[in-house]
Structure 1
Amino acid sequence: MFKPLLSLTGGLIATMAISIAQAKPLPQEDLSVAEVLRDRALESSDAYSIVESLTVEVGPRRTGTEGDRRAVAWAQQKMKDLGFDRVYTEQIDVPRWVRGHAHAEVVSPYPQPLVVSSLGYSVATPEGGLTAEIVEFADVEALLKATPKQIKGKIAFINKRMERARTGEGYGPAVQGRSRGMRAASEKGAAALLLRSVGTDSDRFAHTGMMSIDDIENPIPALALSAPDANLLEVMLKRGTPVEVKLNVDNERLADGPSFNVIGEITGREKPEEAMIIGAHLDSWDEATGALDDGAGVAIVMETARLIAELPDRPRRTLRVVLFGAEEIGLVGAKQYVDAHRHELDNIIAVSESDFGAGKIWRFDTRLPESKFDIADQMMQLLAPLGIERGNNESYGGPDSSIFVAQGVPAFGLYQDGTDYFDYHHTPNDTLDKIDPENLRQNVAAWVVMSFLATEMEGDLGRVPTKSE
């Protein structure tokens, strides 16, 4: 299907008319190869077929489920088919949970159904459900300030709207209700929690997602509410009459069990013990096929490695693709990877992750020592023609990558346009048709430039400050 890059010989490169100025520390020859890789990705990258395969042949793959196990087997075989030199798994221990039904309805004063989804690891209601009055809070901070008397026996309703932004920066403030809301409501004696979905759409879908469940003495049912239904409750409450809602939820927490990080390597020719890690997460939520979150990322990093593997020579150091398990439930795979490889972290020259959908990449951020900025500047010579601008030096590389950065590993960040990402995030609408193949090719073109130059460069990128510094 693809033409191998066997034409990239020294003689051809020497005669190519490349409009890139000679600069150190990345030599002209490496920049020339990266340019050809970039252009090949724009012409013939087939990342779309990878994400199509994952979403069609595996589908939903929530941690600890049969779909998760199918995804692990799929990823291993796909990496072998794509020409990785080494493919292996590392077991991780994960909490498991079974999603049952979740029903909600207003019973008074204006009876009608509501569209909800259980938040990850929510407990069930008592048999037959529960009915209670709604008490509204503008955000989780308002809930934290409330007295137990205001909440006890009622359903706490956090009505925080998420702001739309290309950077996705509205997610952090809005997701606080999901990460902290159930704990706060439980401690104040609430019967249950309803949360306006953490999303930017106006569709009648609820956005699921993980809650903090550790060390909560009396967990309560917690559900996300679609945006139109959150609007409905808001307007009902403005009429001044108490609003009662009935919830009927059936979920079950299981004993912890195994999942896996899936790892594939293009082995370095000179420094195989040193590696650039590029990652994505293999798991997804269960109410869609996880095409954007994070099937697209899986495809981008796997296709990046395939293009580099087709070069006549392996890069100087190893390119390691890590498909992390259990990201959705708390970065579990990344945390356990770092714990298991703590003595090897100095050999990881940099880390990066694709986990923000499939929009066009528009910004290149870094987390590098200032003395290494010239490397990023040289990379930018090849990224700028893709419509990418230079960002800041505050990148954490992505959610899983942040665990490495906290230990001093440098990071690169290639950030997609996330304007509409949170319209689909964690909903039944996260499906393959939301991915534009042309945008995916642009992503791979950027990733292959960054990944090749990082693995081929002669020096290293040093270390960055850790959490304790």
Structure 2
Amino acid sequence: MKINTFFAVPAVLLAAQFSWAQGPVNSKEKLNPVIENFVNEINRSSQLEDMAHELLDGIGPRLVGTPEMLAANNWTADKLRSWGVEANLQQFGTWKGWQRGITHVDMVYPRVKSLSATQLAWSPATKRAIEAEVVVLPKAASKAEFDQWLPSVKGKIVLMAQYQKIGRSDEQIKEFATPELYEKLRAQKEQDSKDFRDYVKNIGYDNNTLPEALEKAGAAGIAISNWTGIMGANRIFGAKTSKIPMIDIDVEDYGMLFRMAEKGSKPKIKVEAQSTVLPDAKTFNTVGIIKGKEKPNEYVVLSAHLDSWDGAQGATDNGTGVLTMLETMRILKKYYPNNKRTIVVGLWGSEEQGLNGSRGFVADNPEIMKGVQAVFNQDNGTGRVVNISGQGFVHAYDYIGRWLNGVPKNVRDQIKTDFPGMPGGGGSDHASFVAAGVPGFSLSSLNWGYFGYTWHTTKDTYDKIVFDEVKNNVILTASLAYMASEDPEFTNREKREMPLDDKGQVTKWPEVKQPRRDSRDFK
């Protein structure tokens, strides 16, 4: 059967249509005894908080190529082994080695103030503290005008990001402003963003080439402010320089420096950004396996990426996904000793640079890919799972429905489903499997402000985790893994008929992409 339209089905309705799973769908449901053990264990003896402390407070952020990432690989493998799960590190490539040191930035003229700033990932270090005047980009209308100005940056620190006139969140402005003022400020913010984009385009550069040009012209450093729009939260990505430090300054301090420089006060800042360039580092996935007792060559895969950016602790991206999958493996090993299919947990490396770990696993394990029953991936914050898509597989409705029927009602009722859905082309690791035609499903969470507040920001810390929500997701994942393992049928992989795009062309199933196995392949 070919399907070329979407349809959405609440999970509770799906559950009512399948009878082989245990437990009626009502408030007094009798759970399958194995799943009931899962629920009791997670509610009474959860190890989530202790593991979160060890991973997030102890090891911290897990940037690919850093010693902390390797420490996290070893910690997760050791944790799995402590529960009797076979675990190992599987190398998929190498990355440039680097380790963060301290960042300290002070304004020293026209007055003294310590600034809130962070060096970007892989930023070159300052051999000694740099003290330099801060300047802003010129009001140039063309590349020729800008290039004429460029030599003046020698020995100075350049503010390269857009100036934010108002450092308040949209939510707060909307709460307190009159409707007329809100619309005025919103329109002005949109116009300012457009003007800055047009400015960068008109001077002939982009976010990658502009830092290179400033560095080549002799700038002492570059400062940006990648503000999220929420007070206190900036996003931290990678530096675009090879010799001079590149730092991010919180919106409040950045705005102060910008106004001073623009008004002619010639502010000076002192920057100490310590970091260490290390030899190229091997990059690994942590893989744990509980061998199947009846169908060892068929697999249920639990998936989450272990790496993170390093502006904070990587708590909700993706510490919570890792904790979910580890705790799921712990209780599966404890309460499901006779698993029919092999259960695999993959904690992937270098997801943040393009799903490299999971793509490497798909490419390197073709025999496993043939036998995958399902992949369950979690990677969007601390919230309870509220959506599961069929990812474009025609018959996903059938087997996802059977499996959801075994999930406790209070967990199941939170979830909306859409079938057949569209195949994920990226965004998280389930897409690596979907592209290869393997049923990979994203367990999509309620965002709890994820994209605005914690995603890749300086605020992605332990205290943002809501552990009751993570417990909910462990119960869901363990139940789905159990049901998928027990299912008498192997999942059907027939793909949907793809719809037309805006131009009337048939959209294509995502192509299989090879992982970047070396940092030099990354642009």
Counterpart for residue 470 of structure 2: 440
Q: Is the 8 A contact 1:94 1:326 kept in 2?
A: no
From 245, 250, 254, the equivalent of 2:278 is 254
Distance in 1 (CA, whole Å) between partners of 2:58 and 2:111 is 44
Output the CA distance in 2 between the equivalents of 1:291 and 1:223. 22
Taking structure 1 as reference, are residues 404 and 324 closer, same or farther at Cα in structure 2, changes over 3 Å only? same
Relative distance call for 1:102 and 1:309 in structure 2 (3 A) is closer
Q: Is the 8 A contact 2:358 2:432 kept in 1?
A: yes
Change in Cα spacing, 1:29 to 1:255, as seen in structure 2 (3 Å) is same
Show the counterpart of 2:182.
none
- Alignment of structure 1 residues 283-298 onto 2, 5 Å: 283-284=307-308, 288-298=312-322
- 2:471 aligns to what SS in structure 1? helix
Alignment partner, residue 309 of structure 1? 333
CA distance 1:359–1:29, change in 2 (3 Å): closer
**Aligned equivalent of 1:459, options 490, 501, 505:** 490
Using the TM superposition, give the Cα deviation of residue 412 of structure 1 relative to its aligned residue in structure 2, in angstroms. Answer: 0.9
Q: Which deviates more from structure 2 when the two are superposed, residues 294-303 or residues 416-425?
A: 416-425
Q: What's the CA shift string for 1:104-162, capped at 9, x where partnerless?
A: 3456667644221111111235755263544369xxxx999995446563625223889
Q: How far does residue 328 in structure 1 lie from its aligned partner after superposition?
A: 4.6
Which of the residues 195, 215, 219 maps onto 2:224? 195
Matched residue, 1:389:
416
CA contact (8 A) 1:34 1:449 kept: no
Identity %: 25
Counterpart in the other structure of 2:162: 159
Structure showing greater radius of gyration is 2
Paired residue for 2:78?
Answer: 77
Q: Report the RMSD for the aligned CA atoms in angstroms.
A: 4.3
TM-score by length of 1: 0.74
Q: Which residue is equivalent to 1:135? A: 136
Aligned match of 1:90: 90
Query: How far is the alpha carbon of 1:411 from its aligned partner?
Result: 2.0
Q: State the 1:432 CA deviation.
A: 3.1
The one-letter amino acid of 2:20's match is P
For structure 1, list consecutive stretches of 5 or more residues without a partner in the other structure. Answer: 1-18, 166-172
Counterpart in 1 of 2:207?
A: 181
Aligned 8 A contact 1:34 1:453 in 2? no
Partner of 1:260, secondary structure, is strand
Structure 1 residue 50 corresponds to structure 2 residue 51: yes
Aligned to 1:443, the other structure's residue is in SS state helix
C-alpha distance in 2 between matches for 1:377 and 1:20: 6
Deviation readout 1:207-255 (Å, 9 max, x if unpaired):
43335x6xx8x56532222233244345556758776655443333222
1:100-119 matches, within 5 Å, as 100-106=101-107, 112-119=113-120
CA distance in structure 2 between the aligned counterparts of 1:143 and 1:451, rounded to whole angstroms: 58
Structure 2 CA distance for partners of 1:111 and 1:53, relative to 1, 3 Å: closer
Work out the CA distance in 1 between the residues paired with 2:143 and 2:90: 40
SS of aligned partner of 1:293: helix
TM-score, L = length of structure 2: 0.67
SS in 2 for 1:370: coil
Corresponding residue number in structure 2 for 1:170: none
Q: 1:354 aligns with which of 364, 378, 401?
A: 378
Greater alpha carbon shift after TM alignment, 451-460 vs 439-448: 451-460
- Residue aligned with 1:250, SS: strand
**Separation (CA, whole Å) in 2 of partners of 1:424 and 1:31:** 39
1:268 maps to 2:268: no
Deviation at 1:56, TM superposition (A): 5.3
Deviates more, 1:26-35 or 1:385-394: 26-35
Other-structure match for 2:237:
209
Aligned to 1:121: 122
More divergent stretch after superposition (50-59 vs 256-265) = 50-59
Match in the other structure for 1:11? none
Deviations 1:291-319 (A, max 9, x none): 43333222201222233334456343222
1:265 deviates by 1.5
Q: Is contact 2:236-2:310 (8 Å) kept?
A: no
